[in-house]
Every structure is written in structure tokens, then in C-alpha cells.
A and B are shown apart, each in its own frame.
Chain A
Amino acid sequence: DSGVTQTPKHLITATGQRVTLRCSPRSGDLSVYWYQQSLDQGLQFLIQYYNGEERAKGNILERFSAQQFPDLHSELNLSSLELGDSALYFCASSPGGGGPYEQYFGPGTRLTVT
């Protein structure tokens, strides 16, 4: 158990819909990262938050957005869903915004868009 929690574990929804994925980092960790794992793209970084502020952005679509709240949990919002958004979405956390910190991953949310 990494200490990072993600809900829900599975999500099935239809094209055009909007969903919210939730992540709670390990106790004491200030950084949260979101990654997408799909068969065709592999594991890709989406976005990082550090202590409530956006720190880095990767290949995140405009239809996707995220935020980190004062209690440090984070939410990833996916809207106008397409079939190609079906993937495993991971949240990871680390203690700092910089430095040689390992990233510990949550169990993931498997999103299926039908």
C-alpha cells in the first residue's frame, strides 16, 4: 500500500459526459501528479500540483483540468469524453516540488468511455 488513495476504482461512462477523479496524497506529501496510461500512448504525464499551485503541465488536453485543494487532495476533471479517453489514470505524490524524491502511485482509476 503506497499510501496514495484514488477514487473511484472503476468508472464507466458515455461519450460526451464529464467525470471527476479524486486523489489523496500520502500524508505529508505536497506534490500531486496525474498520469494517463493507455495502450497506444503508454504512460504519459498530465499535470503536477505543488501545495495547491500548478507546477508543470504535460500532454493534458484542454478538455481536462485539475486542481489541488487546501487539504492537498486533488481532482482531475475530464469533460466531453471521447472513446480515446478510455485509460488508466494514476495519481502519484511526493514530498516536495523539486529534489530527488520518489513518486508513489495510487491504485489508479480505470475509465471506460462507451
Chain B
Amino acid sequence: AQKITQTQPGMFVQEKEAVTLDCTYDTSDQSYGLFWYKQPSSGEMIFLIYQGSYDEQNATEGRYSLNFQKARKSANLVISASQLGDSAMYFCAMRGTGFQKLVFGTGTRLLVSP
């Protein structure tokens, strides 16, 4: 079974600063995928970034990068140059081998202040 742990219920950051949202995972699968989603107050789930377990490079998408440390089973999301519009809930999720369902963490609420 897969498990995702997000230990930061809330994070605060000032505009233009970088912030790291923590995510650790547990799985016995050799092949798996890790995802980050953003959920603004409007409710939709917005896909941000994906990292495969066999990818050697850390994934990056614009201001988002995923700091993947396989041995430590961590997949932290780094947002560079935070913007006010980044204020939202952020969910880490994973998918195991042969299973397409996503298992989600409990989320981290990020608040970006001016």
C-alpha cells in the first residue's frame, strides 16, 4: 500500500521568496509516480508537476521544482519567487506500480503575503 505524509498543515511565505513544501512517501513498489496538485479556494485541482521513480533528474515546471530524494523517500515541492496567486492548498500524491489511483496526503495550506 502507498502512503503520503505531509507534515506541514500551514506555511507562510512573503511574496518573491522561495518556499519548500514537504512530502514523504512510503511504498514497497519499485516503480511509482509522484505528483503535486494545487487547490485554490475555488476548489479545482490543478496539476503542477510529476516525478517518476526512475527519473534521474528532478522535475521542473516553470517556478515549480520537485526535490526528489529516493533514498529518503521524499518528494518536496519548491516554489521559487512566490506570488500572491500561489496561496492555496497543495497536495502531494503518488501512484504505485500497476495501480492508477492516486493516494493523496492531507495537504499543506500556503499563504503568500505581500
User: A residues within 8 Å of B by Cβ?
Assistant: 2, 31, 33, 35, 42-45, 48, 55-56, 58, 88, 90, 92, 94, 97-98, 100-108, 110
Query: B52's closest neighbor in chain A, by CB?
Result: A100
CB of A106, distance to nearest CB on chain B (Å): 8
List B residues 27-45 near A (Cβ within 8 Å). 33, 35, 37, 43-45
Q: In the assembly, what is the distance between CA of A103 and CA of B105, in Å? A: 16
A94 and B47 contact, CB distance less than 8 A: no
Of the A-B pairs whose beta carbons lie under 8 Å apart in the complex, a sample of 19, sorted by A's number, is A33-B100, A33-B101, A35-B102, A42-B106, A43-B104, A44-B104, A45-B102, A45-B103, A56-B101, A58-B101, A90-B45, A92-B45, A92-B102, A94-B100, A98-B98, A98-B100, A101-B100, A105-B44, A107-B43
A103 and B43 contact, CB distance less than 8 A: no
- Most A Cβ at <10 Å: residue of B33, B47, B100: B100
CB of B108, distance to nearest CB on chain A (Å): 13
Given A43-B102, A100-B33, A108-B45, output 17 extra A-B contacts at Cβ < 8 Å: A2-B44, A2-B46, A31-B100, A44-B104, A45-B103, A56-B99, A56-B100, A98-B98, A100-B50, A100-B52, A102-B47, A102-B50, A103-B35, A105-B44, A105-B45, A106-B44, A107-B44
Q: Mark B81-102, 1 if CB is under 8 A from A, else 0.
A: 0000000000101000011111
Taking CB atoms, residues of chain A closer than 8 Å to B33 are: 100
Partner of B91, one of A33, A43, A45, A104: A43
Q: In the assembly, what is the distance between CA of A97 and CA of B98, in Å? A: 9
Query: A57's closest neighbor in chain B, by CB?
Result: B101
